[in-house]
Structure 1
C-alpha cells in the first residue's frame, strides 16, 4: 500500500520503498524494546540485589546478636546448674531434717498422748479423792454426831451389852444341846440306812425268788403246752416263748381268727388257766402276745401298714383268750410289724417264719 501511494503521488515516477526497510525498522523497534526490557530487568535486579545485601547485612547483625545471646544463655544455664546443684543439696538436707522432725513429732505426739492419759488418770484420781474427802468429811460429821449420841447413851448401851452377853451364853448352851441332838439324829440315820440296805437286799432276794418261782411256773406251763400242742408243726418253742405261725391262726392279710386257730388257742388257754390257778396271788405275772409280719408291704382300707396288721392280730388273740376266761389284766398285746424278723432271707420260707404270733409269760 505504501508503494502504491508513493507511486500515485509522484505521477508515474517509480517511487517504491524497499520492503526490507520496513522489516529492518520493525526489527530495530523490537531490538530497542528488548534492550529496554533488559535495562529495566538489570535495574530491578540491581535493586533486588542491593535489598538482599542490606537484608543479608541485617541477618548477619542478628546472627551476631543471637550468638551473643546464646553465650549469655549458656552462662545463665551454667549458673542455673550451679544453683540447681545447691538447691538439690539443700533439698536433701531439708528432707533429712524433715524426716528427723517427723520422727521427733511422732515421739512428741506419743509423749503427748501418754501425758494426756496420765492427766486423765490424775484428773480421775483427783475427782475420786475429792469425792472421798467429801464422803469422809460427811462420815466424820456423822461419826461426831453419833459419838455425842453414843456418849449420851453409853450407860444404856452397857446395860444392853450385858443383856446380849447373857443371851449369847444361853444361845451357846442351846446350840450345844442342838449339836448333841444332831449327833443322835445322825446316829439314828446311820442305823436307818443300814436297815434300808438290809431291806433292799432282802427285797432283791425276794424278787429273785419270785422270778425263780415264775420261771418254775413258766417251765411247767411250757412243758404242759408242749405236751398239749406238740402235734402241730405250726407251733414251736423258741427260748422262753411259744411261736404260732400266722397261717394257723389267720388268713392272708386278715386279723380274724379262723376255726382251726381258735381250737388251738382254746387248748392254750385251758393249759394257761390250769397253771394260773397254782400261781400265788402275790406273783404279778402277765402273758404278752406279740404280733409279727413279713416285710412285704400291705395297704388296704383297714390296714394302712404292717404295724396295723400285726397289732390287730395280737389284739384278736388277746380278745379270744379273754373270751375263754383268761383275766384281761393278765394279758398284753403288742404289734412289731416286720421289724423283728426271725429269718432275714428274701424267700417264701423266710416270709412264712417271720409271720407269727409269739406268747411269753413274764412278770410286770
Structure 2
C-alpha cells in the first residue's frame, strides 16, 4: 500500500512551471536580440541620412559645374566663329590693299593727268590700312578671349573631375562607416552582456539563496512578498534590507561600466491576475507601477544615479504561471530587475 501511494505521488509531479520559465527565457532572449537589431538599424539609418545630405550637395555641385561647362563651351564656339569671320574680312582687306597698291604704282608711272587718280587710290589705301589695323586688333582680342575660355574650361573640367572623385570617396566612406557602426554596436552589446553576467553573479553572492529571490534568464526576480506587504506599495523593513545590498552592487557597477555604454537597470513590476479595487490602487496596473517606482526611488536614495534607472509597471500581463492556484499567483506577483541598453 505504501508503494502504491508513492507511485501516485510521483505521477502528480507538475513540470509545467519549469517549461513556462524556459519558454519565457527564450522569448525574452529573442526580444533582446530584436531590440539590439532595431537600435543598430536606427543608428545606421541616422548616419546614412546625414551622408545622403552630403551626397545630395555634391550632386548639386556637379550639376552646376556641368551646366557652366556647357555654357563655356558654347561661348568658345561663338568666339571661334567670330574669329573666323574677322579672319576672312582681314584676308579680303589684304587683297584690296594689294590691288590699291598696284593701282597707285601704275598711276605714279603714268602721265601727270593720272596724279589725281593716284592720290585718290593712296587715300583709299590709307583707309584700308586703318580698317585692317582695327581688324587685326579685334582678332588679337578674340585670341585672348579664346585662351581665357580654354583656361576656364580646363578649370571647370578639373573641378568636375574632383567632385566626381569626392562623390565616389563619400560613398565608399558611407559603406565603411556602416560596417564599422555594426561592429561597434556588436562590441557594445557583448560588453553589456559581460557586465550583466558579472552583475547577476555578484547579486547571487550578495543575496544568497534566500527563498523568493532567484535569477530567471537575464532577469533578477524578487517575489513581491519579499519587498512589500499584501496590496501595498511601501517597502517593508525586510525589503529595504535586501535593496540596500542591491544598491551597493549597482553603485559598484556604475564605476565599472565605461561611460560610453548606454545602459540602464530596468525595474519591472507585476501582479497576479486577481483584480484589485482599492481607493489607493484602482487597478493592478497602478499597483505594479507604484511598486516599481518605490524600488527605484529607494535605490536613488542609496546613491544610484537616477539616469541609470527606469521604472515600468505591467500589471497582470506577462504572467510566469497562467494557472489559477495560490502558487501561480505567488509566482506572478514579482519585481524583476533587468540590466539592458537604454
- For normalisation by structure 2, the TM-score amounts to 0.55
Q: Answer yes or no: is 1:192 the counterpart of 2:145.
A: no
Report the counterpart of residue 34 of structure 2 in structure 1. Answer: none
Whole-angstrom distance in 2 between the partners of 1:290 and 1:234:
16
Report the counterpart of residue 293 of structure 1 in structure 2. Answer: 271
Deviation at 1:172, TM superposition (A): 10
Report the counterpart of residue 237 of structure 2 in structure 1. Answer: 259
Whole-angstrom distance in 1 between the partners of 2:284 and 2:333:
11
Report the counterpart of residue 214 of structure 2 in structure 1. Answer: 236
- 1:137-156, aligned counterparts within 5 Å? none
Q: Deviations over 1:204-234 (max 9, x none)?
A: 2222222211111111111111111123120
Conserved? CA contact 2:76–2:149, under 8 Å: no
1:205 to 161, 183, 190: 183
Whole-angstrom distance in 1 between the partners of 2:152 and 2:282:
75
SS of corresponding position for 2:205: helix
Whole-angstrom distance in 1 between the partners of 2:309 and 2:164:
47
Deviation at 1:179, TM superposition (A): 5.7
Report the counterpart of residue 336 of structure 2 in structure 1. Answer: 358
Deviation at 1:171, TM superposition (A): 9.2
Q: Answer yes or no: is 1:246 the counterpart of 2:245.
A: no
Aligned residues: 203
- 1:1-364, aligned counterparts within 5 Å? 165-166=78-79, 178=156, 181-364=159-342
Deviation at 1:165, TM superposition (A): 3.6
Whole-angstrom distance in 1 between the partners of 2:263 and 2:164:
41
In structure 2, runs of 5+ residues without a counterpart are: 1-74, 82-145
Deviation at 1:175, TM superposition (A): 7.5
Conserved? CA contact 2:272–2:319, under 8 Å: yes
Sort the Cα spacing of 1:189 and 1:347 in 2 relative to 1 into closer, same or farther, 3 A: same
Deviation at 1:180, TM superposition (A): 5.1
State which structure, 1 or 2, has the greater radius of gyration over its C-alpha atoms. Answer: 1
Q: Which has the higher contact order (CA 8 A, sep 6+)?
A: 2
Deviation at 1:283, TM superposition (A): 1.9
SS of corresponding position for 1:218: helix
Deviation at 1:363, TM superposition (A): 1.6
RMSD: 2.6
In structure 1, runs of 5+ residues without a counterpart are: 1-161
Whole-angstrom distance in 1 between the partners of 2:271 and 2:185:
35
Q: Out of 165-174 and 308-317, give the one that drifted further.
A: 165-174
Deviation at 1:163, TM superposition (A): 11
SS of corresponding position for 2:335: strand
Conserved? CA contact 2:281–2:287, under 8 Å: yes
